Amino acid sequence: MKRKVQVGIIGAGPAGLLLAHLLKRAGIEALVLDHRTREDIESTIRAGVLEQWTVDLLIALGLGERLKREAHFHDGITLRFNRGSHHLNFPDLTNGKRVTVYAQHEVLKDLIAALPEDMIRFGVRDLSLDQLDGDHALISTADDEITCDFIAGCDGFHGPSRRAIPTSALKIYETVYPFGWLGILTEAPPSHHELIYARHARGFALLSTRSPTVQRLYVQCDPKDDLAHWSDDRIWSELHQRLETDEADWSLTEGKIFQKNIVPMRSFVCETMRWGRLFLAGDAAHIVPPTGAKGLNLAAADVVVLAQAFAAWYRDHTTDRLDHYAPTCLARIWKGERFSWYMTTLLHRNDTEEDFVQRIHQADLEYLVGSHAAQQALAENYVGLPMAV
């Protein structure tokens, strides 16, 4: 079957689905294609920390009703090191801004439910991209040939979009960290009302919440470790040690662990975000370690810029915004990469670093909790840098 659409969107993740909504609102015909089933997409549990502007955008688009009812609204984070606990109050530090914890798969459910069924195709097989430097681009699948004015590659780090760009044209920057996160989901009530980030001699730990009955926790580990080496007892023992504090009124609540996984960590930027009629967005173009909670928000920022560029082209047939898509996005992306790298190196134990560098991290934490200006800088980045939407 042959079909023509204005914009073909590869990937039904946060970037692709949000772009579809923005284009629909602008009167631009778009089609989202994904190799996964709807059930696979909506049931893959991933973290979701939303910046203030991202929440404001979802609400403005009419996509925030369930979020407003069910999300967790956090006024800050707690940093723990040397058995001490230090709360950073974001509204006080950022003129009222805060962050919202709302799992990514819940965001995806809302985005999918609000799109017309004929705008998304699930279970697409044998997808390839062609004619990217021609008058029109082509998406070929096992069942269709779709001609597009433009293609938005929103298909993640391992998707086909970035691979469709000649290797010689790719400008890539990357670092792989020598540690990963072992994450668990546990059936337990919250141990704390907000996220706790802990730096410990044994390694990093993070406590976060998913719902009143399900909690998400992480411990730093070797990214090549075997889950078989991590019994439930060992995991709880490490969490207790790394999150321990001298506060007498706090304790970690244990529960039944029903999911475990190990996540490697990398920072990655492909500065070639445009190739002909193909535009990369979200994880297809950049990856951040989860410590800074920037992944979904950077993806959303990309597609806001891209939607505005497409709208300008269809309205005025001007290419200025399309031509400036990559540099506009990269200015924000690199700031997000910097903050994520900072939070990651600050809070993790890295045995490849010299003792001198380890002591610098310790001094940095002590400076941070004692300096209002340093706290403001962290809070400003965490809640989200200004974004015109």
What structural domains does the chain harbor? Answer: 1-46+103-171+271-351 (3.50.50.60), 49-75+91-100+353-384 (no CATH), 177-265 (3.30.9.10)
Compute the average pLDDT of residues 242-247: 90
pLDDT of residue 44: 81
What integer is the mean pLDDT of 6-21? Answer: 98
Annotated catalytic residue: which of 102, 177, 325, 382?
Answer: 382
Kindly indicate the confidence band of residue 388, based on its pLDDT and cuts at 50, 70 and 90: low
* 264 has a pLDDT exceeding 90: yes
**177 belongs to the catalytic site:** no
Q: Going edge to edge, which strands form the sheet with 72-74?
A: 49-50, 99-101, 72-74
Q: What is the pLDDT of residues 82-140, one digit of tens each?
A: 999 999 999 999 999 999 999 899 999 999 999 999 999 999 999 999 999 989 999 99
| pLDDT of 209 strictly over 90 | no
Question: For residue 247, what pLDDT is reported?
Answer: 80
- Among residues 72, 74, 348, 361, the one annotated as catalytic is 74
Indicate whether 290 pLDDT > 90.
Answer: yes
What's residue 150's pLDDT? 98
Give the list of residues 6+ apart from residue 141 with CB closer than 8 angstroms, or none.
33, 124, 125, 126, 127, 128
pLDDT in tens, 151-162: 999 999 999 999
Residue 389 has pLDDT above 60, yes or no: no
Q: At 283, which amino acid appears?
A: D
Instruction: Please indicate whether residue 294 is annotated as part of the active site.
Output: yes
Catalytic residue among 35, 102, 218, 290: 290
Is 91 marked active-site?
no
Averaged pLDDT score across all residues of the chain:
95
Helices (H), the chain: 14-25, 38-43, 52-60, 65-70, 90-93, 104-113, 160-163, 232-243, 295-316, 320-323, 325-347, 355-370, 372-383
The per-residue pLDDT for 78 is: 96
The predicted model gives 197-207 an average pLDDT of 97
Spatial distance between the Cα atoms of 195 and 291, rounded to a whole number of angstroms: 11
Catalytic residue, from 294, 325, 348, 361: name it.
Answer: 294
Segment 198-223 shows an average pLDDT of: 93
More confident residue, 211 or 251: 251
Residue 69 has pLDDT above 80, yes or no: yes
Surface-to-core class of residue 190, CB atoms within 10 Å of its CB (0-12 exposed, 13-18 middle, 19+ buried): middle
CA distance 55 to 68: 9
pLDDT beyond 70 at 251: yes
Q: In angstroms, rounded to a whole number, what is the distance separating the alpha carbons of residues 280 and 174?
A: 17
pLDDT above 60 (res 174): yes
Q: Within 13 Å, how many C-alpha atoms sit on residue 237's CB side?
A: 5
Per-residue model confidence (pLDDT) at position 189: 93
| Cβ–Cβ < 8 Å for 13, 157 | no
CB 211 within 8 A of CB 45: no
Point out the least confidently predicted range of 155-164, 186-195, 205-214, 321-330.
Answer: 205-214
Q: Which helix (H) or strand (E) holds 200?
A: none
Predicted TM-score (pTM) of the model is 0.94
Q: Does the pLDDT value for residue 379 go beyond 90?
A: yes
- Catalytic option among 177, 197, 218, 325: 197
- Establish how many alpha carbons lie within 13 A of residue 220's alpha carbon, considering only the half-sphere containing its beta carbon: 24
Mean pLDDT of 303-322: 96
Distances in Å between the alpha carbon of 24 and those of 18, 114, 255?
Answer: 10, 11, 44
Report the C-alpha gap between 195 and 45 in whole angstroms.
18
269 φ, ψ (degrees, to nearest 5): -140, 125
pLDDT for 269 beyond 60: yes
Residue 79 pLDDT > 90, yes or no? Answer: yes
What is the reported pLDDT for 387?
Answer: 82
Q: How does residue 246 score in pLDDT terms, banded at 50, 70 and 90?
A: confident
pLDDT for the residue numbered 249: 81
Question: Are the C-beta atoms of residues 79 and 86 closer than 8 Å to each other?
Answer: yes
Sequence letter at residue 292: G
Residues in the chain: 389
